[in-house]
Amino acid sequence: MHDALSQRLTPSTLEVLDESADHAGHVGANGTGFGTHFRVRIASPLFTGQRRVAQHRLVYDALQEFIDGGVHALAIEVL
């Protein structure tokens, strides 16, 4: 995820946190405790002048392969 975001959005700040273990037993958890729930903290020059929805869409577009691959929840914090 980190590499995909770095390549697509050239962020000045980027942090990807796997919070899956905090959601073990919840809907969408895959039983392993890892890889289903993530938090992304990001700042990118591509976000300048964009509304929050557009900023989030850029993040989702960059991570589509992961979402298709089983990511259940993604919290996005634009810095």
Of 12 and 73, which is predicted with more confidence?
12
Please report, for the chain, the start and end positions of each structural domain, with discontinuous segments joined by +: 2-78
65-71, Cβ contacts within 8 angstroms, sequence gap of 24 or more: 65/4, 66/1, 66/4, 70/30, 70/35, 70/36, 71/35, 71/36, 71/37, 71/38
Q: How far apart are CA 15 and CA 77, in angstroms?
A: 10
Single pTM value for the model? 0.84
Say yes or no to pLDDT of 53 above 50. Answer: yes
6 confidence band (pLDDT: 50, 70, 90): very high
Average pLDDT over residues 18-24: 74
2-78 CATH: 3.30.300.90
Averaged confidence pLDDT in the chain: 88
Say yes or no to pLDDT of 33 above 50. Answer: no
